[in-house]
Amino acid sequence: MVTPAQHRLFAWLIAAFFFAGSVLSFVDRAVLGVVMPQVRADLSLTNTEYSLATTSFLIMYMIFYILGGQLADRLGSRRTFSLNIIFWSLASIAHAVARGLASLCVFRGLLGMGEGGFFPTAMRGIAEWFPPENRAKAVGLLMCGISLGMLVTAPLVAWITLHYGWRMAFLLTGALGFLVIPPWLLLHRRIQKAYGMLDPVPAQNLMGKSVLSNDSKLGEVLTRRRYWLFLLARAFPDTVTFFYLFWLPGYFQAARHYDLEKVGKLLWIPFFCADVGALGGAWLSSSFIQRGMGLDKGRKLALFLSAICPIVGAAAYLAPTHSLALALVSLALFGHFSWSSNMQTVITEVMPRKHVATLYGLTGAAGTLMAAITQPLVGRAVDSAGYGPAFLGTAGAYVLALVMLFSAGRIEQIS
């Protein structure tokens, strides 16, 4: 008989592996943004051509966000976790042999295929292992992995590139994924021994009911207006994630005249603030709920306060000093990841548990599609007018997201 304390220990160990996968995922996708000037110079690419490579990643990421969610719902998070990491690590390593725009686009697309299924896998695993009162904390840890991956990438990749070149940066960071698989398999041997099965759903014991009890059909949920409003509330800010991921290091090098060494020394600061936001936002909404505010009001208040930060932070482009620009970007990322922790928790709370990975994957695919559409626009804007329109667009994305959120009605499971 597994005790509640053992339940919690296994749940947080599972969450720790999802956190590690989240870190590695964003390290591997963020490398290109850090070495963007060096890659563009070596491969003779314009900003517009560079945006085609980022769009290749986003298109495949979007497709496999959906397919990966379906695979996770069929195979479970244990197996799809390993499959995702092995595939995207090999794709990341392949960037080291890129010789032009075509090969760079191919390798970015393969990276998107591998990474697309990871977050639906992780969100299904969290829904399986965590009851609602602790779920935002686990999602906050997952989001913290995103920002930590972005935080460590700039100094790590800058150092490798300065000493060994940008190709070695892809080779070494891509190889890190293979370190996670053996302990993940070992943990599940322990779980099998404790539960008598490889893929338990222990949250049903903690909640006193099955987390898969809602038998709503997938097609029925897709006809609900509320589902599409929640989808858009998540999708609009997803474009902000990819702007900061793919363009922020280049902005500070091109517009604020940072060299690569200075990027490595200072650009960890905004992503550290993102870590604080990811965890702080999750704890804040959980605190609101535990103090009696309720799920709907608690989550929405935390989301509203979070959205204010990136709206204000978009003024970074107008900042008269480099330090103020860095501070405003840090504020924006703090709020952005606080929003992400809570919004992605909301997605798991409104979806029927039976289809949580698939429906979560669809919301992620919608955000990635919007990002894929906006990336070429960002590239053209930067080539013709600088970074100002792109920063303004990040503020607009949050205004639209708030409208969608408050139009969707109560945060409760769609049935």
Are 123 and 357 spatial neighbours (Cβ–Cβ below 8 Å)? yes
* Cα 326–Cα 328–Cα 334 angle in degrees, nearest 5: 100
- How many residues are recorded in the chain? 415
Q: Which residue ranges form the domains of the chain, and what is each CATH number?
A: 4-407 (1.20.1250.20)
- Beta-carbon contacts of residue 283 (< 8 Å; ≥ 6 apart): 136, 137, 140
More confident residue, 2 or 88: 88
123-160 residue pLDDT tens: 888 888 887 767 778 888 888 888 788 788 888 998 99
DSSP string spanning 314-361? GGGGG-SSHHHHHHHHHHHHHHHHHHHHHHHHHHHHHS-GGGHHHHHH
Residue percentage of the chain with pLDDT more than 70? 95
Compute the distance between CA of residue 214 and CA of residue 353 in angstroms, rounded to an integer.
Answer: 7
The pLDDT assigned to 201 comes to 61
The pLDDT assigned to 211 comes to 42
In the predicted model, is pLDDT for residue 205 greater than 80? no
4-58 residue pLDDT tens: 888 889 999 999 999 999 999 999 998 998 898 899 999 999 888 888 998 899 8
Scanning the structure block, which residue is given the tokens 């906006």? 374
335-375 residue pLDDT tens: 999 999 899 889 888 887 777 778 888 888 898 889 888 88
The pLDDT assigned to 144 comes to 84
Print burial letters for 341-367: b (CB count within 10 Å at least 16), e (below 16).
Answer: bbbbbbbbbbbbbbbbbbbbbbbbbbb
Whole-angstrom CA distances from 393 to 114, 131, 396 are 29, 36, 5
Are 152 and 268 spatial neighbours (Cβ–Cβ below 8 Å)? yes
In the predicted model, is pLDDT for residue 200 greater than 80? no
Compute the distance between CA of residue 258 and CA of residue 255 in angstroms, rounded to an integer.
Answer: 8
In the predicted model, is pLDDT for residue 76 greater than 70? yes
Tokens read off for 100: 């032009």
DSSP string spanning 107-173? HHHHHHHHHHTHHHHHHHHHHHH--HHHHHHHHHHHHHHHHHHHHHHHHHHHHHHHHH-HHHHHHHH
Print burial letters for 76-115: b (CB count within 10 Å at least 16), e (below 16).
Answer: bbbbbbbbbbebbbbbbbbbbebeebeebbbbbbbbbbbb
Whole-angstrom CA distances from 286 to 142, 280, 294 are 16, 10, 10
The pLDDT assigned to 393 comes to 93
Are 117 and 72 spatial neighbours (Cβ–Cβ below 8 Å)? yes
| DSSP state, residue 66 | H
Compute the distance between CA of residue 357 and CA of residue 414 in angstroms, rounded to an integer.
Answer: 15
Compute the distance between CA of residue 64 and CA of residue 28 in angstroms, rounded to an integer.
Answer: 17
Predicted model pTM: 0.76
* Cα 218–Cα 75–Cα 66 angle in degrees, nearest 5: 50
Task: Give the type of residue at 338.
Answer: S
In the predicted model, is pLDDT for residue 379 greater than 90? no
